[in-house]
Amino acid sequence: MTSIASGGVIIASAALFIVLSVFAGLKDYSLQFSSFVDPDLKLISTEGKSFLFSEDDKLKLTSIDGIAYYSEIIEERIIIKSENKNLLATLKGVDSNFLNVTNIDSMVTKGNWLSPHSNDVVSGWGISNNLSFGILNYRKPLAIYVPKPGKGQSSSLKSIYNSVYVSNVGLFDINEELNDEYIFSGINLAKELLNYKDHQISSLELKLDSRADESEVRTQLKKTYKDRFIIKNREQLNDALFKMLNTENLAIYLIFTLVIIIALFNVIGAIIMMILDKKKSLNTLFNLGVQPKEIKSIFFWQGSLMTMVSGIIGVTLGLLIVFLQQTFNLIMLTPELPYPVRLNVLNVLVVLATIFALGIIASQVASQRITKRLIKS
């Protein structure tokens, strides 16, 4: 009975650790794509869609320790037209430093990245499929339209929209959402289309030094620019994705914790069976002067140690399985993609803490079965 109870705890704790490691791996796999397009920090104006960023502001930014590169960005909703098809998308005008801040060019699967000072754009595969265009098709250029600011009625289409013809030179493939949403251009083209001034931009994207402290950089930015900007890191830029992943992780943890609780019922049963089996010995101890409270502690510590040792063995088994998956790719999602897992010290602590806490509670419940009446009977 004790072996069965111990085996159940070992399997349950190993399963919990493996599942948490799998979710950590899936989280890393899901978020690695955002690292190609999202900066370490992004500065957005607290007022309006754009702001002026002067030469003096640039000098202040470069004087802040921990910032390796920065890129000026112009971002706006646009209408793309290809022959007789129209589509709403987001135009992101970037400067020459953008490739130092992100690795978006590595996600261009067809064609090339933007050439400087050109009317080139790079589109997502989703936009390309929806509008049926490819790359380097100079006979059928794309038209981009942006509504002009202003009030009142307009007499012609030209007075409503700014427009520009562009050539698509590349297609990027990141994920479905970004592929269907974004089209990249040079910042000068975006300024021309939106009638922006020389120093007018939508946001700033920062690449931090590898040894920089993000919180310290944030503090310096807030001190330098007061209340001009909202500062977001990569997690805050993808808050919906992070919330979904964290919620799923919590749900899986609670489900497998329930499995552990069920397994610990075997521990309670094993302790009760030992109590009943050793009734004569308990009676002898009682007659020798041992108090029921001390007898209870014997079975309490026996159950607690059994669950703790079983939990440690289960976590060790889980560590071994996760290590083997990382090293030898034993289970594959596709022929090219192994099932993602990640060893995490926090997961080890969470599983052990859960096993120890629930094991102590189960042992306490089982040891309470010992009473004077039971010992004397």
Chain segment 262-317, per-residue pLDDT in tens: 999 989 998 888 888 888 888 888 888 888 889 999 999 999 999 999 999 999 99
User: Which pLDDT score is estimated for 188?
Assistant: 95
81 shares its domain with 210: yes
Cα separation of 144 and 165, whole Å? 6
pLDDT digits (tens, 9 = 90+) for 88-127: 999 999 999 999 999 999 999 999 999 888 899 999 999 9
State the pLDDT confidence band at 369, using cuts at 50, 70 and 90. Answer: confident
Judge whether residue 26 has pLDDT over 90.
no
Pair of tokens at residue 373: 């009446």
Cα separation of 310 and 14, whole Å? 10
Please give the model's pTM, rounded to 2 decimal places. 0.78
**8 Å CB contact between 70 and 243:** no
11 shares its domain with 48: no
177 shares its domain with 321: no
Number of domains in the chain: 2
> What does DSSP say about strands 85-94 and 182-186: parallel, antiparallel, or unpaired?
parallel
343 shares its domain with 223: no
Tell me the average pLDDT across 233-259. 89
205 shares its domain with 306: no
State the first-to-last Cα distance of the chain, in angstroms, to the nearest integer.
Answer: 24
User: Which pLDDT score is estimated for 323?
Assistant: 96
Q: Which amino acid is at 36?
A: F
State the pLDDT confidence band at 37, using cuts at 50, 70 and 90. Answer: confident
Judge whether residue 154 has pLDDT over 60.
no
16 shares its domain with 61: no
Tell me the average pLDDT across 248-268. 92
User: Which pLDDT score is estimated for 51?
Assistant: 96
User: Which pLDDT score is estimated for 139?
Assistant: 79
**8 Å CB contact between 186 and 94:** yes
Judge whether residue 170 has pLDDT over 70.
yes
147 shares its domain with 55: yes
User: Which pLDDT score is estimated for 182?
Assistant: 95
pLDDT digits (tens, 9 = 90+) for 124-149: 999 999 999 999 887 788 999 998 87
- Residue 190: what are its φ and ψ, rounded to 5°? -65, -40
Of 207, 237, 267, the domain-final residue: 237
**8 Å CB contact between 80 and 131:** yes
Question: Other CB atoms closer than 10 Å to residue 10's CB: what's the count?
Answer: 23
131 shares its domain with 8: no
Judge whether residue 243 has pLDDT over 80.
yes
Of 217, 237, 257, the domain-final residue: 237
Cα separation of 294 and 204, whole Å? 68
Judge whether residue 377 has pLDDT over 60.
yes
282 shares its domain with 210: no
Judge whether residue 34 has pLDDT over 90.
no
Comparing 229 with 277, which gets the higher pLDDT? 229
248 shares its domain with 371: yes
306 shares its domain with 249: yes
User: Which pLDDT score is estimated for 66?
Assistant: 95
- Whole-number Cα distances in Å, 261 to 36, 143, 310: 42, 62, 14
Domain that holds residue 201: 39-237
301 shares its domain with 331: yes
pLDDT digits (tens, 9 = 90+) for 179-219: 999 999 999 999 999 999 999 999 999 999 999 999 999 99
Judge whether residue 155 has pLDDT over 80.
no
Pair of tokens at residue 218: 């944030």
**8 Å CB contact between 69 and 235:** no
Of 188, 213, 237, the domain-final residue: 237
